[in-house]
C-alpha cells in the first residue's frame, strides 16, 4: 500500500472526522458553546466516517461510496453539516429544504442500488451531497456577510464551493456515456487518489473554518462581557470612558454632544427594607425604562451602585434636557412591581454638555455629577440642567 494511495488517505480522513466529532461533542456537552450546532456537526462527522471506511470506494466508476449504507451515511452527514452551519450562523432554523433534498436523493439512491445500477446510484448520491454542500455555502454567506471581513468570508466559502462543485461534477461524469467519457479520463487509480486528496484537503479547510467561527464568537463574547455590567447588561465604567473619549474628540472638532447622570432616589432604603433582590429588580426596571427613551446611537453605562450615565451624541443641551425629563416622567409613571406590589422608584438627573478643552471628559462628568447632587438637594425626582457660565470642575460631595 502506497503512502499516498486512496485507501491510506481515506483512513486519515476518517481519523480526522473522528477527531472533529470529539471536538464538537466537547464543545456541546462540556463547554456549552453553541450546543445545538455543535451536536449537529458532531453527528455529521460521525455519519461520514462509515463512508470513508469503505476502503475500495474509489477503485472505479461504480466503486465510490459503493455500498448503500455508505451512500446513505454520506447523505445524512452532509444534511447534518448544512443544518449545523445554518444554526451556527444564527439563521432561522428551517430544515424542510435540507430534509427534502436528503430524502429525495436517498430514495433514488436506494432504488437504483436495489436495481443494481450502481453508477446511477452513485451519481444521484453525489448530486444530493453536492447540493447540500452548496446550500451550506449559501447559509454561510448569508450569515457571515455582516459579521466577517470579506477575505475571511472568502476563505470560509471556498472549500464548500469547491467540494460542492466537485461532487456535482462527479455526478455529471458518472451519467456521461461511458464510451464518450473514457477517452477524456486518466487512469482510474489516479482519479481515486486525486479525489481522496481533494476531499481530505477540503474537509480540513471546512473543519478549521467552522472551529474558527466558534472561536471568534467566543472571543467576541469574552470581549463583550469585559465591557458590560453583569447585572444590567449596560456598559461598565471602563467602556463608558472609552465612549466618552470618542465624543470628546468630536467636540474638539465642533460637534455637540451631551451626557446625563442618573442616580436612583433612596436606593439604600429599598435595599435595607426589601432586600438586595428588590434592589436588583429596581435597577433592571430603571434600565428598561431608560432604554425605551433612548436612540440606537445613545450609550448607557453603570458607573457604580445605583448611578448611571447616558451619552447623547449629536444632542444639544436643551434637547438633552427634554430627553432627561421624558425619562424622569416615565420612571415615575411606570413603577416596578415587587412581590405583587408597586414599588416607588424615582431618580435625579443631571444634564451637562460635553465641553471643549476636556479631552478625557472628566470635567463634563463632574459637572453632571454635581447637577445630580443639586437635583437631590432640591427634593429629588427632577432634572437639573447646566447653566451658561457654570464653572468646570464641580464635584459631588453627597447624596
Instruction: For residue 306, indicate whether it is catalytic.
Output: yes
Treating both helix axes as pointing N-terminal to C-terminal, what angle do 188-226 and 150-175 enclose, rounded to 10 degrees?
A: 150
Secondary structure of residue 260 in the 3-state scheme: strand
- Torsion over CA of 349, 351, 354 and 357, rounded to 10 degrees? -100
- Cβ atoms of 124 and 131 within 8 Å: the answer is no
- Cβ atoms of 350 and 369 within 8 Å: the answer is yes
**C-alpha pair distances (Å), 14 with each of 75, 314, 353:** 16, 58, 64
State the residue for C-alpha cell 451637562.
352
| Of 212, 210, 204, 202, the residue nearest 161 (C-alpha) | 202
| Of 80, 81, 128, 82, the residue nearest 105 (C-alpha) | 128
C-beta neighbour count of 271 within 10 angstroms: 17
How far apart, in whole angstroms, are the C-alpha atoms of residue 212 and residue 204?
12
How far apart, in whole angstroms, are the C-alpha atoms of residue 47 and residue 104?
18
Count how many Cα atoms sit within 13 Å of the Cα of residue 341 in the half-sphere of its side chain: 5
Phi, psi of 163 (to 5 degrees): -65, -45
| Of 278, 250, 249, the residue nearest 266 (C-alpha) | 278
**Among the options 183, 306, 307, 387, which is catalytic?**
306
Residues with a known catalytic role: 306
Amino acid at each position: 500500500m502506497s503512502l499516498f494511495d486512496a485507501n491510506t488517505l481515506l483512513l486519515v480522513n476518517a481519523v480526522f472526522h473522528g477527531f472533529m466529532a470529539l471536538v464538537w461533542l466537547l464543545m456541546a456537552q462540556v463547554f456549552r458553546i453553541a450546543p445545538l450546532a455543535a451536536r449537529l456537526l458532531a453527528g455529521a462527522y460521525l455519519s461520514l466516517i462509515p463512508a470513508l471506511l469503505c476502503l475500495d470506494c474509489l477503485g472505479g466508476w461504480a466503486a465510490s461510496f459503493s455500498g448503500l449504507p455508505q451512500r446513505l451515511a454520506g447523505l445524512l452527514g452532509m444534511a447534518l453539516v448544512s443544518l449545523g452551519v445554518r444554526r451556527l450562523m444564527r439563521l432561522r432554523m428551517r430544515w424542510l429544504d435540507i430534509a427534502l433534498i436528503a430524502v429525495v436523493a436517498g430514495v433514488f439512491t436506494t432504488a437504483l442500488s436495489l436495481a443494481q445500477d450502481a453508477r446511477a446510484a452513485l451519481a444521484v448520491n453525489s448530486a444530493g451531497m453536492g447540493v447540500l454542500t452548496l446550500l451550506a455555502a449559501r447559509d454561510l454567506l448569508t450569515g457571515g456577510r455582516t459579521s466577517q471581513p470579506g477575505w475571511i468570508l472568502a476563505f470560509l466559502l471556498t472549500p464548500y464551493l469547491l467540494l460542492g462543485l466537485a461532487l456535482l461534477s462527479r455526478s455529471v461524469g458518472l451519467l456521461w456515456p461511458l464510451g464518450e467519457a473514457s477517452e477524456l479520463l486518466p487512469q482510474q487509480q489516479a482519479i481515486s487518489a486525486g479525489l481522496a486528496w481533494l476531499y481530505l484537503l477540503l474537509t480540513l479547510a471546512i473543519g478549521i473554518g467552522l472551529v474558527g467561527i466558534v472561536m471568534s464568537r467566543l472571543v467576541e463574547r469574552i470581549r463583550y462581557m469585559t465591557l458590560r455590567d453583569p447585572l444590567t447588561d449596560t456598559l461598565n465604567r471602563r467602556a463608558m470612558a472609552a465612549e466618552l473619549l470618542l465624543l470628546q474628540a468630536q467636540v474638539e472638532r465642533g460637534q455637540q454632544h451631551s451626557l446625563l447622570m442618573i442616580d436612583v432616589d433612596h436606593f439604600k432604603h429599598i435595599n435595607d427594607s426589601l432586600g438586595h433582590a428588590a434592589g436588583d429588580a429596581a435597577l433592571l426596571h430603571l434600565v428598561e425604562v431608560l432604554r425605551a427613551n433612548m436612540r440606537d446611537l445613545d450609550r448607557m453605562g453603570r458607573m457604580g451602585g445605583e448611578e448611571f450615565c447616558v451619552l447623547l451624541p449629536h444632542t444639544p443641551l436643551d434637547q438633552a434636557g427634554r430627553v432627561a425629563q421624558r425619562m424622569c416622567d416615565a420612571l415615575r409613571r411606570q413603577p416596578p412591581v415587587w412581590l405583587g406590589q408597586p414599588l416607588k422608584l424615582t431618580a435625579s438627573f443631571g444634564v451637562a454638555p460635553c465641553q471643549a478643552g476636556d479631552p478625557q471628559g472628566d470635567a463634563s462628568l463632574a459637572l453632571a455629577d454635581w447637577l445630580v447632587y443639586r437635583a437631590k438637594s432640591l427634593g429629588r425626582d427632577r432634572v437639573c440642567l447646566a447653566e451658561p457660565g457654570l464653572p468646570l470642575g464641580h464635584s459631588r460631595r453627597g447624596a
